[in-house]
């Protein structure tokens, strides 16, 4: 990453990155990396993926959910398999396993409040903590927002696009203005994309001249 920032003439986008100081995940950025992207004129998109937002909180919630699933499965005499064991099944056996698992998963989902009472899920407030931190360290002009719904990502309160307003509401609660929220949602990223397109054109023109 450092080498890339030294070589590039254009600003960069860290499209799905949290804050390492809040959640120690390898894909999250430490303060030095954040400062380098600021110096580059780029933007860091805070990512709403529970395991990146708060590793420990997400793990505790996942373990509690898995414990409930295992309890229900045991009550119903169904043997849960790990991913490797499921992959090793034949196509027919895998379909049968998934069919048997479906009602157990549905029953566990219906009792989500029990899991939340034991281990709170990562939520929108936790996510916006990352935005606040980055704004304090590198300034609002270099911070954006990124969802992560693909593959079951997301956080409590922003699990799909229909809940997007909850992020805006939390930003309003924390004192961000309408203009600032517009920058976070799109303005900063669009600025970088415009800069990249402009610089790409300059580089192409230089090559044509030479």
* 15-35 tens-digit pLDDT: 999 999 999 999 899 999 999
**Domains parsed from the chain with CATH numbers:** 2-54+122-209 (3.20.20.140), 56-118 (no CATH)
Q: What is the pLDDT of residues 195-207, one digit of tens each?
A: 999 999 999 999 8
pLDDT digits (tens, 9 = 90+) for 37-49: 999 999 999 999 9
The pLDDT of residue 70 is above 70: yes
Q: What is the pLDDT of residue 151?
A: 60
pTM for the model stands at: 0.89
Q: Within 10 A of 36 (CB to CB), how many other CB atoms are there? A: 19
Statement: residue 210 has pLDDT above 80:
no
What's residue 102's pLDDT? Answer: 97
Instruction: Please give the torsion angle defined by the CA atoms of residues 114, 105, 18 and 9, in that order, rounded to the nearest 10 degrees.
Output: -160
pLDDT band at 154 (very low <50, low <70, confident <90, very high): confident
Alpha-carbon distance 168 to 149, whole Å? 17
How far, in Å, are 79, 104, 131, 164 from residue 124 at the CA level? 35, 28, 11, 10
Helix (H, G, I), strand (E, B) or coil at 123: strand
């Amino acid at each position: 990453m450092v080498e890339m920032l030294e070589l590039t003439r254009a600003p960069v986008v860290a499209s799905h990155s949290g804050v390492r100081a809040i959640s120690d995940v390898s894909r999250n950025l430490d303060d030095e990396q954040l400062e380098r992207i600021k110096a580059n004129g780029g933007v860091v998109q805070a990512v709403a993926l529970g395991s990146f937002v708060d590793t420990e909180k997400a793990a505790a919630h996942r373990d509690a959910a898995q414990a409930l699933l295992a309890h229900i499965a045991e009550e119903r005499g169904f043997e849960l398999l790990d991913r490797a064991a499921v992959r090793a099944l034949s196509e027919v056996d895998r379909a049968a396993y998934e069919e048997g698992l479906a009602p157990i998963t549905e029953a566990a989902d219906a009792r989500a409040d029990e899991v939340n009472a034991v281990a709170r899920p990562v939520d929108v407030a936790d996510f916006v903590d990352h935005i606040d931190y980055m704004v304090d360290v590198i300034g609002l002009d270099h911070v954006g927002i990124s969802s992560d719904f693909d593959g079951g990502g997301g956080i409590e309160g922003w699990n799909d696009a229909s809940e997007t307003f909850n992020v805006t509401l939390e930003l309003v609660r924390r004192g961000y203005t309408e203009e600032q929220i517009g920058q976070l949602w799109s303005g900063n990223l669009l600025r970088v994309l415009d800069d990249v397109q402009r610089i790409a054109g300059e580089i192409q023109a230089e090559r044509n001249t030479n």
